[in-house]
Amino acid sequence: MKIDFETIVIFVSFITSFFAVFLSNGIIIGVPAIAQEFVMNNVIQNWIPTIFFLVVAVFTVPAGQISGKFGVKKSLLAGIVIFLIGSIGAVLSISTELFLVFRIVQGAGVAFLNVSAMAMVVQAVKPQNRGKALGFTVTGVYLATSLSPVICGFLVHNLGWRSMFYFVIPFLVLCIILMMVKIPQEWKTYEGQPIDKLGSVLWGIGILTFIYGFTSLINTQGVILTIIGIVILCIFGYYELKQDAPVFNMNLFKNGKFTSSNIAALCSYLAIMVVTTILNYHFQYVRGWNPQMAGLILIITPIIMAIMAPNAGKLSDRIHPQKLAAVGIGIAAVALGILVFLNAETPLYVVVLAMILQGIGMGLFSSPNMNAIMSSVPPKYAPTASASQATMRTIGQTMSLGLLTLVFAWVMGNLQLAPEYAGMIVQASNTICLICTVACILAVFASLVGIRSKDEFNTKRDQ
């Protein structure tokens, strides 16, 4: 049976999106084993996931301009190869320093992979099928989110932590072969434009300082770094408006649909990323469940999201995507509103109901909102739009985890998480869920503003 070109593009995008998230999420399971082998202290141990997200944030915006200049396909291939090198290097690491270096390499590869995979889908797939195609890409993200703890837990327990990295290698090689053999086209939308080196440096320093500072807001140094980061990012935005070939085209934010969809994405990731951790704490520290039982029930939400995402994406090809996004994030707000009152006496069926509503809501929101971002600009700006949505995701996720740290430190101080402090854990969790509910409501308003915008979605392939 002959497989058509668009199907191959969607498959490659699905696989690359899946494994980018698979290792970024699943490695949490392997951190204790990695730390034990390399004799890491708790500070260095926490850098295993953190350094990866910081590198992704730094490289995502430059990746948009680079992929547009040299070609989306070339950039995706480069991203996969860099990710592959990082994975092989992690397997062969013999020291803490070497392992962290290859985590940096992996982060750089994933930044290019995230941007180029999405841009390639937009360029290669017919406009009338764009939402459906993006929906399958989002499904890869959600499946990885739900399956990575289970798969990585099995691999680490039975085969050691290096097996997580071995597991991704054949799939990355398959994608490289498919792209070289089955995807002959190349898409260059910024060909002839110079690389904005100073803009890239300003972005890297600004976002690195801001994110690192935000995760340490509990102390004075964190506050200072956050403020410095915001100032540098403002300078970056002003500088980019003056450039003929900016690393990020700030003029795109003059489009109401583009701006509103990006704000909605940022708010949604800030609100949702932390919920899994909150529920995990509730099940293990408040209800006294073992990790295996907690892990099994936590699969409910991402599985529903994975089922919803492609169907919601397909639906957004026929219905205004921001209308679907507003309904979806509204349902997610209801779910978080329920969790605001979560405590030891909350019936389990109420918790499960909130998880189901969250899955339905985010499944209905993510694909249409992504379709709105990618369709609100001409196709030639697809690499920049893809970099924008990837940046919103990274910043939102990092700020969400920073919020978790800040609130728990405020409520519990330096106390260790343990069942005897269940009351304080509930208090901190309720506070976080309240903040996240407000973030979801802001995302609803952002989507509604986008609906009212007079800007139109671009669906012509020759723009």
Which pLDDT tens digit goes with each residue over 221-260? 888 999 999 999 999 999 988 888 888 888 888 888 889 9
Residue 288 sits in the same domain as residue 180:
no
Residue 143 sits in the same domain as residue 282:
no
Q: Could you tell me which residue, 205 or 133, shows the higher pLDDT? A: 205
Residue 353's pLDDT is: 96
DSSP H helices in 188-320: 197-214, 220-241, 256-272, 275-281, 291-298, 300-315
Rounded Cα distance, 104 and 58, in Å: 11
234 located within any domain: yes
pLDDT higher than threshold 80 for residue 295: no
pLDDT higher than threshold 70 for residue 278: yes
- Tracing tokens 């219905």 back to the chain, one arrives at 319
Among 181, 213, 242, identify where a domain stops: 242
pLDDT higher than threshold 70 for residue 43: no
Mean pLDDT of the chain, nearest integer:
85
Residue 173 sits in the same domain as residue 296:
no
Residue 1's pLDDT is: 43
pLDDT band per the 50, 70, 90 thresholds, residue 292: low
Residue 330's pLDDT is: 95
Residue 463's pLDDT is: 41
pLDDT higher than threshold 70 for residue 462: no
138 located within any domain: yes
Residue 460's pLDDT is: 47
Residue 124 sits in the same domain as residue 164:
yes
Residue 42 sits in the same domain as residue 87:
yes
Rounded Cα distance, 455 and 463, in Å: 15
247 located within any domain: no
pLDDT higher than threshold 70 for residue 376: yes
DSSP H helices in 125-219: 130-159, 162-182, 197-214
Rounded Cα distance, 242 and 184, in Å: 36
Residue 294 sits in the same domain as residue 357:
yes
Residue 287 sits in the same domain as residue 418:
yes
Residue 186 sits in the same domain as residue 205:
no
pLDDT higher than threshold 60 for residue 118: yes
Condensed to tens digits (0 to 9), the pLDDT of residues 378-401 reads 877 877 888 888 888 888 877 887
Amino acid present at 111:
A
End-to-end CA distance of the chain: 34
Residue 286 sits in the same domain as residue 231:
no
Residue 445's pLDDT is: 94
CA 11, 12, 13: angle at the middle one, nearest 5? 90
The answer to whether residues 320 and 451 touch, using CB atoms and an 8 Å cutoff, is: yes
Three-state DSSP class for residue 463: coil
How many domains, the chain? 3
Q: Could you tell me which residue, 166 or 408, shows the higher pLDDT? A: 166
Residue 409 sits in the same domain as residue 275:
yes
Task: Name the percent of the chain lying above pLDDT 70.
Answer: 95
Residue 450 sits in the same domain as residue 365:
yes
Domain range holding 50? 1-193
Rounded Cα distance, 164 and 152, in Å: 6
Task: Name the percent of the chain lying above pLDDT 90.
Answer: 30
Residue 389's pLDDT is: 82
pLDDT higher than threshold 90 for residue 444: yes
| Residue 152 in tokens | 């990585």
CATH number, position 410: 1.20.1250.20
Residue 12 sits in the same domain as residue 95:
yes
398 located within any domain: yes
The answer to whether residues 323 and 451 touch, using CB atoms and an 8 Å cutoff, is: yes
